[in-house]
Structure 1
């Protein structure tokens, strides 16, 4: 049996083009831009070619930008689940612009995995919840005969990288060396002969300090 998990980042959102939007709109409520909606429609065409009408289960971050991305894909699914464990890293509630920049600088200096944002989460916290999601998903695929072999996960850039970190047991140093995928870009994880494979590596902004790689 061949099992596939397709990880997809949402389209461009208002927060990606206007950082001050986080000061007036909760992160979970930020909408897609017009460009983000175009990206989602275009990705839908690519996904339909990839899926070839095979049954699909979709697990979607409940954030507005992820849910809207899924809707615009136009991909038919047999199971659709809002999954809070796939949400973006929590930066707290409405953000102060000065405090936001301070937090980003501290996070860069301290490390994206372990630094816990004030009133929010660390990357390690996100890692814990995506691990819980993966464990439950693998059990469903293995034991529920009605669950499709193909799963679509619509989520966020950091969440996608951490899902792969857990799946492939990547080091923290390697995770922190990877860049988020572009908006509405996907990665395909395939289970064949008991081993998970990633179709394409993530871009890296530096070599991993521990010399580990994605292969």
Structure 2
């Protein structure tokens, strides 16, 4: 289920707990922040079927970016944080990313991507990096109101590249509204593993 379901029922319930810092991201915060980012991306001209790439360490904001993409009908590609600048740039270019969101915890690769990815039109960084707009400022300046329609986006995963360059796997977008039906994977996992609203994932 998308965060809005839980945000409506229990907005103060933790969605993410960060063990090393004790920081909490609630479902209400996840919903609002992902909506704000979705509106920022739409305001920048991204439309369903466009691509967004994410280069980050293990950070709760990854989930904000993920849900912003999914509720905007975008493809989202997570770029492996262990790649070299040239390897990461290849994936960003190959997936056709119009937006790139990076973490300042990976400054060398993130900064090196700027001249290597000229097709990117929107660059945001959480933590602050030269050549990028500030992620928190982008969210603060965007509307918290969900769009009237939220077409479901999808992950665009890349193979490991054992026989050459990594290859992107782009599933079709079906045009269904994120708020009207659960993801097929969520439905499957609920049936197989008994996932319910009290399930905790480590």
TM interval, shorter chain, is 0.3 to 0.5
* Higher helix content, 1 or 2: 1
> TM-score of the superposition, structure 1-length normalised?
0.35
Larger RCO, structure (CA 8 Å, separation 6 or more): 1
> TM-score of the superposition, structure 2-length normalised?
0.36
